[in-house]
Amino acid sequence: MLEKFKNKKIVILGFGKEGRDTLRFLKKIFPKKKIDVADQKFDKNYLKKIKDYNIIIKSPGIPFKVVKPFTVKKQKVTSQTEIFFENCPGKIIGVTGTKGKSTTAFWIYQVLKNGGIKAHLVGNIGKPVLLSLLKAKKDDVFVYELSSFQLANLRKSPHIAVLLNIYPEHLDYYGNFAEYVEAKANIAKYQSKKDYLIYNCRDSKVKKIAKRSKARKIPIEGKYYELNQRAAEAVAKIFKVPTVKKFKMLPHRLELVGKFKGIEFYNDSLSTISETTIEALDFLGDNVQTLILGGFDRGLSFDGLAKRLIKSNVKTLILFPDTGRRIKQAIKKFQIPLLKFQYFFVKDMKKAVELAYRHTNKGKTCLLSPASPSFGIFKDYADRGNQFKKFIKMLK
């Protein structure tokens, strides 16, 4: 394994979770070898030093365009994902999509484990991927949740690729939306006729990628969790194992918190774009009376969300900065004068939940589905969702 790395000078670029896993893995393979690390936390000029190495193992959080000006000819820039794909003796099921990939990967893993398959959950949702290689055998199946960052510049595709949806996101990382789509397309780009592509046939960008793939194609469709379930069922068919009757849910993804004071509360904190909030409204139906929205502003349009809200039965909008005001402006562009929402602007979750209790009728639903990232007020989407759950129970 990794014979070509043996006599080469190696640097790990970026020392987060993946970088640390890469170092532990390389130390197991080459116990006496000096492996260097370059990270902006240790040195502001960390990129200037990479020219001295034969192999650069780049962490996914660092855009390739940032690294490229500092590389020289004959250097190999690779990644943890690429090393895994090139050396894995078992089968890889790669799962990607702007939204829903964690749930889908988790449900595929559930189906395979339930069917007696030697399955492993790796990548963003599971165990660090490279240490899994040390014990990997031919009959192992790795369910790998893949972000666009992990797929960018990848030159090998998984045996089974699952492509759920593509919406504008991470445009601060990529030059434009086309680059983001291109990164996602790598999940199917290098597949052969022996491989499978499970894809959402209702997504136009996904359909275009599927059209170019040489793999055996399995179209799926469905709203929100239905789509994730169809993907898991398609994998079950390929492996000839039964599907499970009830899938376990992951937190912060249209998670039913419970019924308190006659109000149903749903935590969809992982919704960081308009499209997922629209899907949540479609999935829950007309019972949603109160919607908690807003967060970090990445400059994306809220016009589609505004149009969907006007058609909904939502009466109360509780809005966080910075996108809260932009969402209100978008609604006002399309709203007929007779149609009115109650708008409340808040800066903390406790106030948001207090207002939700006050302005949601018994028998109705309050949904947290922010259509925006959590940065600023909250540490991350999990902190936002956990605070929502905490104050629901505290204020009941």
307-357 pLDDT, tens digit per residue, is 999 999 999 999 999 999 999 999 999 887 667 899 999 999 999 999 999
pLDDT, tens digit (0-9, with 9 covering 90-100), for 183-199: 999 999 999 999 999 99
pLDDT of residue 1: 67
- Determine, yes or no, domain membership for 3: no
Question: Is 205 within the bounds of a domain?
Answer: yes
94 and 232 assigned to the same domain:
yes
Model confidence, pTM: 0.90
pLDDT, tens only, 366-379:
999 999 999 989 99
The pLDDT score that the predictor gives to residue 337 is 67
- For residue 63, the domain's CATH number is 3.40.50.1860
Inside any domain, residue 18: yes
Same domain, 302 and 365: yes
Write the CATH number for 335.
Answer: 3.90.190.20
Residues 58 and 13 both lie in one domain: yes
- Do 151 and 187 reside in the same domain of the chain? yes
Same-domain pairing of 234 and 93: yes
User: Are 209 and 287 part of one and the same domain?
Assistant: no
Check whether residue 199 and residue 120 sit in a common domain.
yes
pLDDT tens-digit profile of 82-91? Answer: 999 999 999 9
Looking at the structure, do residues 159 and 213 belong to the same domain, yes or no? yes
Q: Parallel, antiparallel, or unpaired: how do β-strands 263-267 and 255-260 relate?
A: antiparallel
pLDDT above 90 for 248: no
Q: How confident is the model at residue 126 (pLDDT cuts 50, 70, 90)?
A: confident
Kindly tell me if the per-residue pLDDT of 203 is higher than 70: yes
Query: Which of 52, 79, 106 is the last residue in one of the domains?
Result: 79
Residue 250 lies in a domain: no
163 vs 96: CA distance, rounded Å: 5
Average pLDDT, the chain: 94
Mean of the pLDDT values across residues 237-260? Answer: 94
What CATH number is given to the structural domain containing 123? Answer: 3.40.1190.10
CA 270 to chain centre: 9
248 assigned to some structural domain: no
- Same domain (yes/no): 340, 232: no
Q: Are residues 65 and 189 in the same domain?
A: no
- The answer to whether residue 201 is domain-embedded is yes
Do 145 and 220 have their domain in common?
A: yes
Last residue of a domain, one of 37, 56, 79: 79
Same domain, 93 and 32: no
Among 238, 266, 282, the domain-final residue is 238
Q: Residue 388 falls within a domain, yes or no?
A: yes
Tokens matching residue 62: 């660092």
When divided into structural domains, the chain yields a total of 3
Q: Is the pLDDT of residue 249 over 80?
A: yes
Is residue 1 assigned to a domain? no
Per the structure, the complete domain to which residue 297 belongs is given by 255-394
In angstroms, how far is the first alpha carbon of the chain from the final one?
57
